[in-house]
Amino acid sequence: MRRTVAIIAAAAAAMLLSAGAAFPRVIDGVVSLVNEEPVTFSEVRESVSEGMGIPVGDADALLREERDPRAVLRWIEALVDSVLVRKELERLGQPIAETEWQMERGAIVRARKYKEVMVTESEVRDYFRESGERFLVGSKVRLETLFFPIDSAPSAGLDAAQARIALQQAAEAVRSGRTFAEAEALVRGTFPKVQFHAAGFVTTEDLLPDLQREVRRLRAGEASPPFFTEAGAFLLRVVERQGGTPGDFSAVKDALTEELTDRRSEKAFSDILSELRRAASIDVRL
């Protein structure tokens, strides 16, 4: 049973080992019951491997090293959510095949809250005005970045795995409120090649295309999720913007329509999960 999450990255072993080193490591077994359906350690390990693009052995090592109990709860919740969504789709007569597990989120939103996520052109125009700073032409931005160089050569497998592990750890640290500098210090032991940059102002159009794309998704103060380029992986934060002239709505209308729809879908999905959790029997076996 696959799970769609890069965020489940270390759930099982942390859960199993949090009680202390005196207990033997569990190789496999039931780690949670969701309406009597089991979730096993091996399923979590496979999900970590697939979601992070690392070998199963590296995923297993990552699972054994995680110690943060707050992260454990979030990761277990992600697994529980996947089971709840799949079961609800089956109840609605719209089951998702195992090979199409990535479609679960969209399918449940369409089935339960389709009308609520639709947007009008007027709403998109309002959204454009609210997000106007993102589309300024000729503006300058001041950024903070964390860069994780990943060699694409086959011989660099271990190095790439460590980079991906550190990337997820840094992203989790930033989400929890740590600064980029603090996140860099936190993951340097896992991946010593990580690079933290806090440069001065640069014109948005002078950035690499991959960075431009992410910058235009963010308002000042917001951070990106992890993203990948040919050179490696990044986390990015827009610290400040200055200057520039207003952009053209027609040039970004389609992209903003999709973005606003996605945001509403996220909200609808969160509401659906809350409803499913309240009605479910969930047993996490610590």
The pLDDT, as a whole number, for residue 56 is 79
The pLDDT, as a whole number, for residue 193 is 94
CATH fold label, 137-242: Chitinase A; domain 3 (3.10.50)
The pLDDT, as a whole number, for residue 7 is 34
In the chain, which residues have pLDDT < 50?
1-27, 155
- The C-alpha torsion from 200 through 205 and 207 to 209, rounded to 10°, is 160
The pLDDT, as a whole number, for residue 58 is 78
pLDDT in tens, 243-279: 999 989 999 999 999 999 999 999 999 999 999 999 9
> The pTM is what?
0.69
Q: Match 């917001």 to its residue by tokens.
A: 222
Q: Hey, where are the domains in the chain?
A: 11-118+266-284, 137-242
The pLDDT, as a whole number, for residue 186 is 94
SS3 at position 284? strand
The pLDDT, as a whole number, for residue 33 is 84
Distance between CA atoms of residues 165 and 61, nearest Å:
10
The pLDDT, as a whole number, for residue 70 is 61
The pLDDT, as a whole number, for residue 16 is 36
The pLDDT, as a whole number, for residue 26 is 42
- CB–CB of 105/85 below 8 Å? yes
Distance between CA atoms of residues 86 and 109, nearest Å:
12
The alpha carbons of the chain give a radius of gyration, in whole angstroms, of 21
Q: How far is CA 152 from CA 6, 85, 230, in A?
A: 20, 35, 8
The pLDDT, as a whole number, for residue 71 is 57
The pLDDT, as a whole number, for residue 95 is 85
The pLDDT, as a whole number, for residue 69 is 60
